[in-house]
Chains A and B, each alone.
Chain A
Amino acid sequence: MADISLSEAEKRYIVDGVKLGIRVDGRERLDYRQLEIETGLVSTANGSARVRLGCTDVLITVKMEMEPPPPQQPKDGQIHFFVNCSANAAPEFEGRGGEDLATSLSAMLDRLYSSPLSLDTSRLCVVPGKHVKVLYVDVEILECGGNLFDTVSLGVKAALWATRMPRIYITGEDGGELEFMVSDNPQEVDRVDVSNAPILITHLRITENLTVIDPTPEEECCGPVQVVVGVTPKGLITTTQQLGAGTFAPQTLSASLKVIAFYYHPHHAHTFWECSSLFTLVAASGQFSSKT
């Protein structure tokens, strides 16, 4: 993803560091960097969030529409993801260059939120079979500096948390057509329940049997293969995907998955909180408001 080339000596330094358990910036293998989440920046959207992690910078907006549901799911609201890789983020995104990455990101997000256990879409229903709320989530990648998938998923969760939809009242019926009134009271809003919304965690395979999370662009340069895992706050793994050319030994993969499920589980969460501030932020999503 990132367009940097390292010398053999630098790569060697990074790989040896991971083997010895100390990364170039002093972190251990499973340490996250400090990240910055800001919500409610775009006044024209129902919800928005901007996340910066290292050099990576993404802006996410959520807009709500009322639409008829598909016949097979008459009672479920919908959530759609659109990703745009700005040419400002990296020169190779110019023209149609970022399309592959955008497609894989939006497919990943689609799968992440497809499980009914991660987001209860039935609460987005207004009139079963006729009108449901559809959330359009637009992801704009402003700067691409490593660990993009994690950052985007965090931003989506934050933006959904910050989403405020005006309350809709059914006022009457006119010839089979329902009449609606949309509340213009800023206090009368519906929120999206994100308490079970998942996030993505990327494991980068640096060397045999060793993976790191939250890699810097330099580290991404040393290991071509990553596994992206979607996990809910209850420790449920909703999706996994391997990125890049390369192989994961079965034990490495299962170890990575176990680490994520284990540390993210509320019973064990406190052990992870000590080493990373990220999980405090995500687990208690109420703290998203600290910046706003």
Chain B
Amino acid sequence: MLWKCGANVYEYRRERERRFKGDVRRVQAMVGVQEAAHPRLVTPGEVISQDTSFMRGHGTYMEKGVQVASVAGYVTRVNRLITVTPLRQMYQGAVGDTVVGRITRVQTNRWKVDVNSRLDAELRLSNIQLPGGEQRRCNVEDERDMRALLTEGDLVCVEVQKICDDGLLRLAARNIKFGKLSQGTLLAVSPSLIVQDKQRMHDLPCGARVVFGANGYVYITPTVPQEQASTYIVNFEEVPVEVRKTIGRLRNCIKLLAHHSIMISPTSVMTAFDMSIEQEFEIKDLLKPDVMQDVALATVQSMNE
């Protein structure tokens, strides 16, 4: 649609809102935000406020005395601080975050890991716990056998140890709970949708373990009865159908929550899971846009109650 030069900005916004409402199938952003009934959506370069007494937060900058958005997202205000929460973003990284990553390269004494960030993160050999929990310095032998521990394509659950000056994330897995992930399925959502939480690995009551990586990678695996001593040996046993059904349903529920921009937490995922069972939807039905919307709305409603 073409707009004449100097067309009224408000007219434009009204038109845009109308199109957003009409085309529910394409733009699904309005379902999940709970704090305000009508959150303000801004695009980069849009003036947020003329008032100079507001403080400038993330996602904004000052230009000629007015506050302008630098990303597309929702405006949130805390007292005098205005920030724009982006709808989609790459992972920025924060020390102590638990993230899920995929090994992209094996190099001398370090692995390169894709963590949905601008740069591939690094995981040093000295920063992982050796199999069997041995406490010793890594030697040349270990360096030679790096591929036996982790190879290209493997998924790992690690924590961010440090953010280097150039933005490179340094990872560490010096704990029994970190390490290679076994059979399951990976989902990528926007990191801004993952609820901040100390606990990242959840054994959900439906019988699956979900790792909500702070970087937006969500991994769903069958629950393991007890922690295995070695975290680098993968179990290749066949996963039974019942567990697969649970994992598939969870996967589709997380997908639909992400599609409708609903924050993803164990609570919201379990609510969507229960809602989909309650409304007697089959797992593959949850791939249909109208069913997805029904479940998403039901989830939001049930969580607001």
Partners in one complex: yes
Residues of A within 8 A of B245 (CB): 22, 26
Q: Are B286 and A7 in contact (CB under 8 A)?
A: no
Give the interface segment out of A11-19, A168-176, A203-211.
Answer: A11-19
Give the interface segment out of B4-12, B86-94, B179-187, B192-200.
Answer: B179-187
Q: Which of B272-289 contact A (CB under 8 A)?
A: 282-284, 286-289
Give the interface segment out of B49-57, B128-136, B148-156.
Answer: B148-156
Residues of B within 8 A of A6 (CB): 153
Q: Are A25 and B248 in contact (CB under 8 A)?
A: yes
Interface residue tally on B, bucketed by range: 20 to 34
B147 touches A (CB below 8 Å):
no
In the assembled complex, the Cα of A28 lies from the Cα of B102 at a distance in Å of 28
In the assembled complex, the Cα of A277 lies from the Cα of B152 at a distance in Å of 38
Residues of A within 8 A of B183 (CB): 9-10, 12-13
B244 touches A (CB below 8 Å):
yes
In the assembled complex, the Cα of A10 lies from the Cα of B186 at a distance in Å of 8
Interface residue tally on A, bucketed by range: 20 to 34
Give the interface segment out of B205-213, B232-240, B297-305.
Answer: B232-240
Residues of A within 8 A of B155 (CB): 7, 9-10
Residues of B within 8 A of A277 (CB): 288
Residues of A within 8 A of B181 (CB): 7, 9
> Shortest beta-carbon distance, A55 to chain B, in Å?
11
In the assembled complex, the Cα of A16 lies from the Cα of B184 at a distance in Å of 11
Residues of B within 8 A of A20 (CB): 238, 241, 244
Q: Are A25 and B287 in contact (CB under 8 A)?
A: yes
CB-defined A-B contacts under 8 Å, sample of 23: A5-B102, A7-B102, A7-B153, A7-B180, A7-B181, A7-B234, A9-B155, A9-B183, A9-B234, A10-B155, A10-B184, A10-B186, A12-B236, A22-B241, A22-B248, A24-B247, A25-B248, A25-B251, A25-B283, A26-B245, A26-B286, A36-B25, A218-B185
A residues apposed to B, CB below 8 Å: 5-10, 12-13, 16-17, 20-28, 31, 33-34, 36, 218, 277
B residues apposed to A, CB below 8 Å: 25, 102, 104, 152-155, 180-186, 234, 236, 238-239, 241, 244-245, 247-249, 251-252, 282-284, 286-289
Question: A7-B102, A218-B185 provided; 15 other pairs, C-beta below 8 A?
Answer: A5-B153, A7-B180, A7-B181, A7-B234, A9-B180, A9-B181, A9-B236, A13-B239, A16-B238, A17-B244, A22-B245, A24-B248, A25-B283, A26-B249, A26-B286
